[in-house]
Amino acid sequence: METLILITTVYFFIFSLRYLVLSFSGFGLISLLPSQRKIQEDRQVTREQKIRELKHSLIASIPSSVIISFVVYMGYLGLNKVYFDISQYGVLWFFGQILFLMLLTDIWFYFVHRAMHSKKLFRHTHKLHHLSTDPTPFATNSVHALEAVMDIGFIVIASFFIPLHPIALFVALSIAFIWSTIGHLGYEILPKNLYFIGKYLNLPTYHNHHHKTFKYNFGYYTTILDRCFGTLHPDSDKTLKEKSSYQIL
């Protein structure tokens, strides 16, 4: 038990620090972008909103830390497939599991996200995240505790079926966190003339339209499942093309 508490404490510190670094970096990034790249140009973010997002994001780091720590601790006890020696499965699988977890994240999040928009789940969980109609980088992890558990629940399941190394798991989660921070910037960052690729990625325009309407764009890394299941916002592609047409600098 002492080992689990220690692991959880370390993870919570690292997760919180990562959130703060990425969030403030996000604000630094958007300060360099032209105002025309702001997706909801008619809205102004308030100080109260930023404080609320910051508070709830740090709170949500607690259940996330507990879940990941529990997965690693079960590996320490030999109860799942978490392993600690990279050579056991080789370098190829070390990087392969990161890509696999990214794929799982995109699929899992789409369906869980849609489920959280059902009336009962939304009212009790996801509504907290949607208090930010025009989100900021601080909103990256501003979710209900139950939603934080649901978002990474697939990792618990996956740990019983595929070998996972704690470092690879941390890298995959960090990539997910970086991507989520980008999605909540409120400004489009796609370089000019890359629309043909960008429209398949869940860039700030797509996720911002989700916050604005609540009914579209449920994907995580990509818009592929939204396109397949007809949940893509009808104006997102056009807005992405428009916003990305402005020079970044």
Give the residue ranges of the chain where pLDDT is below 70.
249
Return the closest-CA partner of residue 210 out of 117, 145, 119, 138. 117
134, two tokens? 């025009």
Q: How far apart are the first and last CA of the chain?
A: 52
State residue 119's pLDDT score.
87
d(CA 210, CA 221): 14
Give CA torsion, residues 73, 74, 78, 81, to 10 deg.
Answer: -110
Please report the pLDDT score of residue 5 as a whole number. Answer: 87
pLDDT of the residue at 241: 95
CA dihedral 245, 129, 224, 199 (to 10 degrees): 0
For the record, the structure tokens of 245 come out as 């047409």
Asked whether 56 and 128 are in contact (CB, 8 A), the reply is yes
Angle, helices 90-116/166-183, rounded to nearest 10 degrees: 40
SS3 of 49-99: the string is HHHHHHHHHHHHHHHHHHHHHHHHHHHHCCCCCECCCHHHCHHHHHHHHHH
How far apart, in whole angstroms, are the C-alpha atoms of residue 216 and residue 21?
A: 29
**In angstroms, rounded to a whole number, what is the distance separating the alpha carbons of residues 216 and 236?**
10
Going by the DSSP 8-state scheme, the letter that residue 184 receives in this structure is T
List pLDDT tens digits, range 144-198.
Answer: 999 999 999 999 999 999 999 999 999 999 999 999 999 999 999 999 889 999 9
| Pairwise CA distance, residues 88 & 66, whole Å | 26
What predicted TM-score, i.e. pTM, was given to this entire model? 0.94
